[in-house]
Amino acid sequence: LNWGLGHATRCIPIINELNKIHNVIIASSGRSLDLLKSNFPNNKFLAQLQQEVESNILPRPSDATLMRHYHTLLKAELEARLSSMPSS
């Protein structure tokens, strides 16, 4: 999820619009996380999601294998976390 500041910056207006009608939960890490937290102090954040997904994969796959399945793994972890959160 450390996609860089450019990606996070482009997400700001999208999150602003979504915040008008939804409770947006933001997943990020690194400097992008800092930027998004400063812009959205009232949103919930899933930090360290990327590191937890990668550290729970044993045995460690090759980079090529990981890249092929990376988004699927992140999506599964995100869905698991969201389903365990209390609804508001």
As a whole number of angstroms, the distance between CA 34 and CA 59 comes to 31
Rounded Cα distance between 49 and 52, Å, is: 5
40 contacts: CB under 8 Å, gap ≥ 6? 15, 19, 24, 26
End-to-end CA, the chain: 25
pTM above 0.75, yes or no: no
Residuewise pLDDT in 10s, the chain (88 residues): 566 788 899 999 999 999 999 989 898 888 898 999 999 999 988 876 656 665 665 556 566 666 666 777 777 777 877 888 776 5
